[in-house]
């Protein structure tokens, strides 16, 4: 297998080495210039590249090509065209022009655009993103593209991500050129390694659950006798069937050049995680989308279903995505690595302080970037970080910052005060930095780990926001320091100022503790508990200004995204509520009826047979079933009437709040009663598989 890995790795990717071997030297050079420096691609170059790409794709079994893009639905889209062109003799040849490579026009008017594009002028176009390699998937050459309207608005998730990377590059390079030793730095990229959590359930059981099919999560289900209390699943032995799935998945991912690296069982039964080796944010985002897609496909080949929902099961952990994020230079330096010399340390502390300032000033945006109906079930519950944004630095790095702020020496043995740009940072143990798993935004030695992302979401938005926020803070720093007459003194002052003004965002304690909620409130930090609450902040003046200033979103683009965000939330809850009504009326109530009828018949039969017969089990159960049935029936009527009410509300913000406050609460009531009913109903009468079946069904 080992040698096979090196052979198959990237075998389905039109990557640099394939390009080098297949393109004329001049074409290759021109293309690399576009890829590394973002220079415009010449039409004649595109023609040559397209031809080489087509030949390579056909040799590798492809018959079709597609412009692969990431619409605002958060998934990916593709429309396949075959390479065939008819010839006059009634035959076909395989053709692919430079124009077809560079630009496409999917008739994609049904994708949400948040009003950016009235449907009558529906056409958006896709444009090749040469910074992400083309690849072959299911016999189709996929060309990663951006999706824009003809008036230039971004209709996708990739375009703003590329823009945000440009923004942070520009400002970071400015900052770096102020420090000695960075003369060779011409480019700065952000890097991401997203750890992906997921559940696997048996397909045959899944097929019996309408809620899983329609909503991706269970809307009903009493706790199984065994949940995650023994914590025996975490890092436990991987079951052979899952092992086979992982083996297959890795192979598929490797073929696409995705660096799948670690895999293990997670805390909840049936929950697993896959982590890739990090890469450029743009690629990491593409690769994460492909990873999710391949997880689903591969699971289905193995008779299972991969659940990527943030909270498929109540009472056991949900799934998230840890977005490990850092910044690095074209010279290979990780800017979040503290370094060893005074100058490297100073540079690190400036970047660190800029991030601290940015996270504090734009807490709302970071919260919004991870807000979804699914993730609302996690954030703030006892498994994921709370809905409050804070930064974890670890005690030792905190000690260094405290010493800087107070102007006192760090640690007992130190005699000298820390002087930025002059002193060397004291050693701090990076291994201790990762122990706190409760922080939403944790420094882990040479990167930050943003832990609030939902498992099902594209990582684009979180990284667009993060990149732009940090670009803004770096710009402010560069504006000050470029004018400085005494660099070290001004740098020292700026770092101290950033930290002292924004230290409220740093919290090294237990984020799951209730006392943190109170403490955060005292500090004036935001606690946006739900998606509707978070979304109210998107269009704040400071946020519009931020994105416009850095050319990442125009005001309309931001507004359209917010509209879609609301729309998504409302639609998801609408589907969940309708599914619940359906399951309640067609499955649960009829089952209750069947059971109560059986009980009543048994009771009278028993008493007829022998009047002194003890029917306490039958009678008490009958009473309980009747009372729960009534509760469920009343509940479903309330839910139905609230659903009718909500259709009258036109304002999306109010509608979302109504869904959150009323509809979700109605659903919770029905569920509680139904779960109690499940616990007393015989297995052969309960209409669908239970938690026990689902969580332990893959053997």
Helix, strand, coil share (%) of the chain residues, nearest 5: 50, 15, 35
Nearer to ligand ADP, 63 or 330 (CB): 330
String of DSSP letters for 493-529:
HHHHHHHHHHGGGB--S-TTSHHHHHHHHHHT--B--
Burial level of 94, CB count in 10 A (0-12/13-18/19+)? Answer: middle
Tokens 């056991």 label which residue? 316
Q: Is 241 helix (H, G, I), strand (E, B) or coil?
A: helix
Tell me the C-alpha distance between 455 and 458, whole Å. 8
Alpha-carbon distance values, 499 to 186, 403, 492, 493, 690 (Å):
28, 12, 11, 10, 51
Q: Of 74, 114, 76, 161, whose CA–CA distance to 465 is shortest?
A: 161
Tell me the C-alpha distance between 544 and 521, whole Å. 25
Nearer to ligand ADP, 324 or 538 (CB): 324
CB of 191 to ligand ADP, least distance (A): 4
Residues lying near ligand ADP in the complex (CB under 6 A) are found at 191-193, 195, 275-278, 324-326, 334, 434, 444, 446-447
Q: 279 forms bridges with which residues in the sheet?
A: 192
Q: What are the backbone dihedrals phi and psi of residue 222, each rounded to the nearest 5 degrees, phi first?
A: -80, 155
Contact 335/351 with Cβ under 8 angstroms?
yes
Contact 411/426 with Cβ under 8 angstroms?
yes
Tell me the C-alpha distance between 553 and 164, whole Å. 9
Nearer to ligand ADP, 191 or 291 (CB): 191
Nearer to ligand ADP, 34 or 271 (CB): 271
Tell me the C-alpha distance between 561 and 545, whole Å. 16
Alpha-carbon distance values, 606 to 595, 596, 597, 610 (Å):
16, 15, 14, 6
Planar angle of CA 322, 325, 329, nearest 5 degrees: 160
Nearer to ligand ADP, 444 or 629 (CB): 444
Nearer to ligand ADP, 193 or 358 (CB): 193
Chain residue at closest Cβ approach to ligand ADP? 193
String of DSSP letters for 313-356:
STTS---EEEEEEEEEETTS-BTTS--SSHHHHHHHHHHHHHHH
Tokens 């409760």 label which residue? 438
CB of 234 to ligand ADP, least distance (A): 13
Nearer to ligand ADP, 244 or 434 (CB): 434
Q: Of 584, 351, 572, 388, whose CA–CA distance to 470 is shortest?
A: 351
In three-state form (DSSP H/G/I as H, E/B as E, the rest C), the secondary structure along 256-282 is: CCCCEEEEEECCCCCEEEEEECCEEHH
Cβ count near 144 (within 10 Å): 23
Tell me the C-alpha distance between 255 and 260, whole Å. 11
CB of 31 to ligand ADP, least distance (A): 26
Nearer to ligand ADP, 324 or 530 (CB): 324
Output the CA torsion sign for 56, 140, 78, 135.
Answer: negative
The number of C-alpha atoms within 13 Å of 322 and in the hemisphere containing its C-beta is 23
- Return the CA Rg of the chain: 28
Tokens 């004329």 label which residue? 24
CB of 259 to ligand ADP, least distance (A): 8
- What are the start-end ranges of the H helices in 177-280? 203-206, 210-215, 240-255
């Amino acid at each position: 297998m080992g040698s096979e890995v090196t052979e198959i790795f990237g075998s389905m990717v039109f990557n640099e080495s394939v390009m080098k071997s297949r393109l004329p030297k001049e074409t290759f050079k021109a293309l690399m210039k576009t890829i590394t420096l973002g220079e415009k691609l010449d039409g004649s170059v595109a023609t040559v590249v397209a031809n080489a790409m087509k030949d390579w794709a056909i040799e590798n079994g492809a018959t079709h090509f597609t412009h692969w893009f990431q619409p605002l639905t958060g998934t990916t889209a593709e429309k396949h065209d075959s390479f065939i062109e008819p010839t006059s003799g009634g035959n076909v040849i395989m053709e692919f022009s430079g124009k077809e490579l560079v630009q496409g026009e999917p008739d994609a008017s049904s994708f949400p655009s948040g009003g950016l594009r009235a449907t009558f002028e529906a056409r958006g176009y896709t444009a090749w993103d040469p910074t992400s390699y083309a690849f072959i998937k299911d016999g189709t050459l996929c060309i990663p593209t951006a999706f824009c309207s003809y008036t230039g608005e971004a209709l996708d998730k990739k375009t703003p991500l590329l823009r945000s990377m440009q923004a942070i590059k520009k400002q970071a390079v400015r900052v770096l050129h102020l420090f000695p030793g960075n003369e060779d730095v011409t480019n700065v990229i952000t890097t991401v390694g997203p750890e992906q959590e997921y559940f696997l359930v048996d397909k045959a059981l899944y097929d019996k659950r309408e809620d899983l099919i329609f909503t991706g999560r269970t809307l009903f289900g009493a706790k199984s006798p065994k949940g995650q209390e023994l914590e025996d699943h975490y890092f436990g032995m991987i079951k052979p069937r899952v092992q086979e799935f992982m083996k297959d998945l890795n192979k598929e991912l490797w073929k696409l050049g995705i660096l799948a690296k670690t895999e293990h069982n997670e805390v909840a039964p049936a929950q697993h995680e896959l982590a890739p080796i990090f890469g450029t944010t743009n690629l990491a985002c593409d690769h994460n989308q492909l990873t999710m897609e391949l997880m689903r496909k591969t699971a289905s080949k193995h008779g299972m279903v991969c659940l990527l929902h943030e909270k498929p099961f109540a009472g056991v952990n949900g799934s998230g995505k840890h977005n490990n994020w850092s910044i690095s230079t074209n010279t290979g330096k990780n800017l979040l690595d503290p370094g060893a010399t005074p100058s490297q340390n100073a540079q690190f502390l400036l970047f660190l302080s800029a991030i601290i300032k940015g996270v504090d000033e734009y807490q709302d945006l970071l919260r919004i970037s991870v807000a979804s109906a699914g993730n609302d079930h996690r954030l703030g519950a006892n498994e994921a970080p709370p809905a409050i944004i804070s930064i974890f630095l670890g005690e030792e790095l905190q000690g260094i910052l405290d010493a800087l702020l107070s102007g006192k020496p760090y640690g007992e043995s130190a005699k000298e005060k820390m002087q930025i740009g002059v002193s060397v940072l004291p050693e701090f143990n990076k291994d201790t930095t990762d122990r706190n798993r409760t922080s939403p935004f944790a420094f882990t030695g040479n990167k930050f780990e943003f832990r609030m992302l939902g498992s099902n979401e594209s990582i684009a938005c979180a990284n667009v926001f993060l990149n732009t926020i940090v670009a803004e803070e770096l710009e402010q720093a560069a504006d000050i320091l470029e004018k400085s007459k005494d660099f070290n003194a001004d740098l020292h002052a700026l770092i101290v100022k950033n930290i002292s003004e924004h230290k409220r965002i740093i919290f090294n304690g237990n984020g799951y503790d209730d006392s943190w909620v109170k403490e955060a409130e005292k500090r004036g930090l935001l606690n946006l508990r739900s998606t509707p609450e978070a979304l109210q902040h998107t269009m704040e003046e400071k946020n519009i200004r931020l994105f416009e200033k850095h050319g990442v979103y125009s005001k309309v683009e931001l507004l359209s995204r917010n509209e879609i965000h609301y729309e998504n939330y409302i639609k998801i809850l609408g589907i969940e509520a309708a599914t619940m009504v359906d399951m309640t009326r067609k499955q649960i109530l009829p089952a209750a009826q069947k059971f109560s009828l059986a009980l009543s018949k048994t009771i009278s039969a028993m008493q007829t047979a022998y009047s002194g017969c003890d029917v306490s089990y039958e009678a008490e159960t009958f009473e309980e079933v009747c009372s729960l049935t009534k509760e469920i029936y009343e509940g479903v009527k309330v839910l139905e009437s609230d659903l009718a009410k909500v259709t009258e509300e036109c304002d999306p913000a109010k509608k979302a709040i109504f869904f959150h406050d009323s509809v979700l609460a109605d659903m919770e009531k029905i569920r509680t009663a139904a779960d109690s009913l499940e616990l007393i109903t015989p297995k052969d009468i309960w209409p669908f598989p239970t938690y026990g079946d689902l969580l332990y069904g893959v053997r």
